Homo-oligomer: A and B are copies of this chain.
Amino acid sequence: MSRLVMKFGGTSVANIERIRNVARHVERERKAGNNIAVVVSAMSGKTNELVGWCEQASALYDRREYDAVVASGEQVTAGLLAIVLQDMGIPARSWQGWQIPIQTSDSHGSARIAHINAAAILEAFEARAEVAVVAGFQGIHQETGRIATLGRGGSDTSAVAIAAAIGADRCDIYTDVDGVYTTDPRIVPKARRLDRVAFEEMLEMASLGAKVLQVRSVELAMVHKVKTFVRSSFDDPRDPKAGTLICDEEDIVEQQVVTGIAFSRDEAQITLRQVADHPGVAAAIFIPLAEANINVDMIIQVASENSGVTDMTFTVSAADFERAKSILHKAQPQIGFTSLTGATDVVKISAIGVGMRSHAGVAALAFKALAEKGINIRAITTSEIKFSVLIEAAYTELAVRTLHSLYGLDKA
């Protein structure tokens, strides 16, 4: 019998009726001859409620206690789905992270999965043809025996990790959209669902703002070569539609140069004027930020020749903006800038495609097209399979539509 992991997010398990619908999807796959592990999120709204209580309890809450509180949401869903499956005559039991166990690092609140012992689940498959219903988002730190959670969206990561651990043939991520699109259809009505996306592309898309999968789940899928299928949980369980398969590059026959356009509004721009242009000044700026766990993304340095000073512009996530400014002000004596300006009305637009590796000048086309629309580019970064531009937020829709058309992604 083949093995399948099925993951359902919060909106798919929002109430008992929806959980019953999830069970019908499981029933279909079981009848098709699969041994199944189902990974579930908390019922929608529950995690926010639990997080809210922790924040009310203390602004500086102990992350170990936070984890013990918020992990309960997924435990509830897992138990309820097991009951519903049994009610339909399907043998099932729930598994909490510590029961399997799913061993994690001790970085509570954003723990990484270190190891999964799949023996108990495989034994339940072999001995009782039992569906394993696994509480997502959580594991246990082996040394302390305390519950650790994987960060928001962590149930995707749980699903892929379990798929790798049990050697699943496929990992199906059921969500409230029916797959991965060339861009956000709310912005570009001509956006198309992709039949297949390469792991590398999906990783960039997720990192650059596409919200369909947690970034770490895609990393894991890529490392362990877990074929991951994104599909809709609101399809008729008897007749589900197609979704998007995330797979190896070589499994994609007809590769586009650009596969998708992603964008992220979660950006903030910081500019330091008249920084002394000498070796070590970049370290003086970026080391204090790194020590505060603030990721710096795009960096531009504009030096006036022979002036001895330079302007430094870079981006951080909007959530880190205030903290970054305060750190830089404290470090002003060491850095020596004359002024610090910032902006949060910026957006990062990215084009992704493994085809860029073999095609030169892909980004240059974009710079020209955006200029023709009067869109000013504030910063640029590129890598082997993507490029990103930072622009004023007001131009988001125009820029996304322009690039979507430019690279031939509009619907036929």
Contact = CB atoms under 8 A, between A and B. Distances in A.
A206 to B, nearest CB: 30
A68 B57 contact: no
Contact of A75 (B57, B72, B80, B84): B72
A96 interface: yes
Interface stretch (A58-66, A180-188, A224-232, A257-265): A58-66
A94 B57 CA distance: 14
Contacts of A82: 62, 65
Contacts of A79: 54, 65-66, 68-69
Nearest to A58: B87
Interface in A283-332: none
Interface string A45-71: 000001001101110111011101100
A87 B57 contact: yes
Contacts of A86: 58, 61-62, 65
Contact of A83 (B16, B57, B146): B57
Contacts of A78: 68
Q: Is the interface of A mostly helix, strand, loop or mixed?
A: helix
Nearest to A17: B56
A72 B66 contact: no
Given A56-B16, A57-B19, A145 B99 contact: yes
A66 B83 contact: yes
Given A69-B76, A75-B72, A83 B58 contact: yes
A170 interface: no
Contact of A58 (B66, B75, B84, B146): B84
A36 to B, nearest CB: 17
A65 B94 contact: yes
A381 B16 CA distance: 46
A407 interface: no
Contacts of A60: 87
A18 to B, nearest CB: 12
A395 interface: no
A61 B56 CA distance: 35
Nearest to A133: B65
A80 B76 contact: no
Given A16-B57, A19-B57, A76 B72 contact: yes
A93 interface: yes
Interface in A79-104: 79-80, 82-84, 86-87, 93-94, 96, 98-99
A147 B94 CA distance: 11
Contacts of A93: 62, 64-65
17 contacts: A16-B53, A16-B57, A19-B57, A58-B84, A62-B82, A64-B93, A65-B83, A65-B86, A66-B83, A68-B75, A68-B78, A68-B79, A68-B96, A69-B79, A72-B72, A99-B145, A99-B146
Q: Which 10 A-B pairs have the closest CB atoms?
A: A69-B79, A58-B87, A72-B72, A57-B83, A68-B79, A16-B56, A65-B79, A61-B83, A65-B82, A65-B83
